[in-house]
Amino acid sequence: MFRDPPAPQNHRPDPGAQPQPAPAARPRPAPAAQPASVAVARCCIDAYNRRDVEALRTLAHPDVEIDWSQSRSLRAGRYTGIDEVLRFYADDFEMFEAVTVEPEHLIEVGHSVVIPNVTRLRGREGIEVAARSTLALTVIDGKLSHVRLFQAPL
């Protein structure tokens, strides 16, 4: 347990001493600028969670690829090109009443952002499930160019 140090035994305040001004507050450092790839990754997740297909189109490179080959779902595979990727997203939005990706961290590694996350899904019949995974998003020239899903086997 931490305690304040004891006051000196022989210290008496000088009755003629002038009050000392409080020390000046140290300026807080400005928040670090968010790296561009992390900002794009965050915008992609936010757009997906809002089901904003037009924002997803704007954020993605025309040759974007989704590698969902490690998925345990029936949709495991690779999806290439903006139209195929947007159909992939649209299928999610059609199958589920709600889909929300909740990032635990966004970790920049070169042009990629590694995102351990929990995805919560609610089916049309109200059944809710959650899945843990890690996404790796690659951002080149400010555009999402590649998404890869990492999912541990059962």
Helices and strands (H, E) in the chain, number of each type: 3, 7
Whether domain 36-150 has CATH 3.30.70.20: the reply is no
Q: How many whole angstroms separate alpha carbon 56 and alpha carbon 77?
A: 20
Q: Which helix (H) or strand (E) holds 122?
A: strand 112-123
Per-residue pLDDT of the chain (154 residues; tens, 9 = 90+): 444 445 555 545 555 655 555 555 555 444 444 579 999 999 999 999 999 999 999 999 999 999 999 998 888 999 999 999 999 999 989 999 999 999 999 999 999 999 999 999 999 889 999 999 999 999 999 999 999 999 976 6
Q: How many whole angstroms separate alpha carbon 105 and alpha carbon 117?
A: 8
111 neighbors 89 (Cβ within 8 angstroms):
no
Domain borders along the chain are 36-150
In this structure, what DSSP letter does residue 77 have?
Answer: S
- pLDDT attached to residue 16: 61
Backbone region of residue 77 per phi and psi (left: phi > 0; alpha: psi in -120 to 50; beta: other values) = left
Instruction: Work out the widest C-alpha separation in the chain, in whole angstroms.
Output: 83
Q: How many whole angstroms separate alpha carbon 125 and alpha carbon 66?
A: 28
- pLDDT attached to residue 34: 57
